[in-house]
């Protein structure tokens, strides 16, 4: 057995929808929802999944999980947007991850059938969506959690540049 | 073009590590980290990714993203553990999702090389890990967010039964 193959999950990821936002390139895109206050977007959910949206209207925030298909390939150390020195990739939210899956908690404004109206989006336009989960403070909120280098960071930056942008899409159609 | 194929991301998910926990079956496993206080686990990170763990020790909590390979296939409506009536799947954290990706925020106790010692784990033993992200209250904490049916739920349940368990693994090797 090839140990490299043992590390591959031949998972078939389904695109459950697309994210529509005002951001067409990484440069200038907010790096987190907390830096995207009141930026509006829409989630267009594919038909087979619309029934699964029922009851979501009651949640003020939802998690979006998405495939960052325009991110550069994995590298183990990066200079994150909010710092001036290199950090281990897993100690950052940079998109050049082994699996380029992003998570963002956005504000849910309303639903019309298979369309979710959201605010506070930090996601590139047309990004493939792979999951939606309800946000629950009891599960997800640790407001005083210690946050390593981010507690001491001096780089006051709220939007991206092109440092993590791939020359080609990472759809990986091979 | 087949519209069904357009919804498939032929993504190659890499297993970056495995989660070791005391839980060998869904029945009896805590359904969220908040119900798994002080339950210890270990993350065994694969060699190519160990360098990317640097600087993670400073974070009190980390996000684990994992592939729930023992979850039942997607269904659009479920009776979640914490309720007695059906809800839309995307309004729940049930594992039978179109893409069975779980997210859990666990407490980081320490690191020894490629091993992370964690607490508050609600994950089945040997689950494939696909990402680790630092938890930052500024990005992730909305302690007063309204949480729909979960704010009114009357079902006081903290551990799973077998309702979302697949008869076969969902590794999807086809």
> Can you give the pTM of this predicted structure?
0.92
Strand, helix or coil for residue A88: strand
pLDDT (tens digit per residue) in A49-79: 999 999 999 999 999 999 999 999 999 999 9
Distance from the Cα of B8 to chain A's closest Cα (Å) equals 5
User: If you average pLDDT over residues A144-149, what whole number do you get?
Assistant: 95
Taking Cα atoms as reference points, which of B42, B44, B40 lies closest to residue B15? Answer: B44
- Nearest by CB: A133 against B62, B93, B149: B93
Distances (CA, A) of A60 to B108, B126, B138: 28, 34, 17
Residue A62 is predicted with a pLDDT of: 98
Is a pLDDT exceeding 80 seen at residue B2? no
Could B98 and A55 be called an inter-chain contact, meaning their C-beta atoms sit closer than 8 Å? no
DSSP B137: H
Strand, helix or coil for residue B135: coil
Give the separation between CA A51 and CA B116, rounded to whole angstroms. 39
Give the separation between CA A41 and CA B109, rounded to whole angstroms. 38
Is a pLDDT exceeding 80 seen at residue B168? no
- Mutate which of B18, B44, B55, B150 to disrupt the A interface (most A C-beta within 10 Å)? B55
Is a pLDDT exceeding 50 seen at residue B163? yes
- The DSSP result for B24-66, as a single string, is -SSTT-BSSGGGSTT-EEEEEE-GGGGGGGTTGGGBSEEEEEE
Burial class of residue B119, CB neighbours in 10 A (0-12, 13-18, 19+): middle
Tracing tokens 């047309």 back to the chain, one arrives at A126
CATH numbers and ranges of domains, chain B: 24-137+148-152 (2.40.30.70)
User: Tell me, what's the ipTM?
Assistant: 0.92
pLDDT (tens digit per residue) in B22-56: 999 888 999 888 898 999 999 999 999 999 999 99
Distance from the Cα of A104 to chain B's closest Cα (Å) equals 8
Could A67 and B138 be called an inter-chain contact, meaning their C-beta atoms sit closer than 8 Å? no
Average confidence score pLDDT of chain A: 91
Residue B169 is predicted with a pLDDT of: 53
Segment among A11-15, B61-65, B122-126, B151-155 with least mean pLDDT = B151-155
User: If you average pLDDT over residues B109-136, what whole number do you get?
Assistant: 97
Is a pLDDT exceeding 50 seen at residue A1? no
What residues of chain B lie within 8 A of the CB of A93, using their CB?
133-134, 136, 139
Could A103 and B57 be called an inter-chain contact, meaning their C-beta atoms sit closer than 8 Å? no
Give the separation between CA A95 and CA A37, rounded to whole angstroms. 21
Chain-centroid distance, C-alpha A119: 14
Distance from the Cα of A147 to chain B's closest Cα (Å) equals 5
Please give the helix or strand (H or E) that residue B138 lies within, else none: helix B137-140
Could A60 and B146 be called an inter-chain contact, meaning their C-beta atoms sit closer than 8 Å? yes
Distance from the Cα of A57 to chain B's closest Cα (Å) equals 7
Taking Cα atoms as reference points, which of B139, B136, B148, B6 lies closest to residue B58? Answer: B136
Residue B172 is predicted with a pLDDT of: 45
Could A133 and B90 be called an inter-chain contact, meaning their C-beta atoms sit closer than 8 Å? yes
Give chain A's length.
174
Could A142 and B146 be called an inter-chain contact, meaning their C-beta atoms sit closer than 8 Å? no
Token readout for A130 is 């792979």
Tracing tokens 């009776």 back to the chain, one arrives at B79
pLDDT band at B7 (very low <50, low <70, confident <90, very high): confident
Residue B171 is predicted with a pLDDT of: 45
CA B62, B68, B74: angle at the middle one, nearest 5?
125
Q: Are A41 and A121 in contact (CB under 8 A)?
A: yes
Token readout for A76 is 């183990």
pLDDT band at B164 (very low <50, low <70, confident <90, very high): very high
Give the separation between CA A140 and CA B68, rounded to whole angstroms. 19
Distances (CA, A) of B113 to A63, B56, B66, B110, B123: 31, 11, 21, 10, 22
pLDDT (tens digit per residue) in B97-121: 999 999 999 999 999 999 999 999 9
Could A11 and B13 be called an inter-chain contact, meaning their C-beta atoms sit closer than 8 Å? yes
């Amino acid at each position: 057995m090839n140990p490299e193959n043992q590390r591959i999950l031949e998972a078939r990821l389904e695109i459950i929808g697309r994210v529509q936002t005002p951001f067409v390139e990484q440069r200038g895109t907010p790096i987190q929802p907390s830096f995207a206050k009141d930026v509006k977007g829409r989630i267009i959910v594919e038909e087979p999944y619309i029934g699964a949206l029922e009851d979501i209207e009651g949640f003020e925030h939802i998690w979006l999980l998405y495939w960052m298909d325009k991110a550069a390939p994995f590298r183990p150390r990066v200079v994150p947007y909010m710092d001036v020195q290199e950090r281990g990739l897993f100690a950052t939210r940079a998109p050049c991850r082994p699996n380029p899956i992003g998570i963002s908690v956005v504000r849910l404004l309303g639903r019309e059938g298979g369309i979710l109206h959201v605010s506070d989006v930090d996601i590139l336009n047309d990004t493939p969506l792979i999951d939606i989960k309800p946000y629950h403070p009891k599960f997800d909120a640790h407001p005083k959690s210690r946050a390593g280098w981010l507690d001491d960071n001096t780089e006051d930056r709220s939007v991206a540049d092109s440092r993590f942008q791939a020359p080609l899409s990472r759809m990986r159609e091979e």
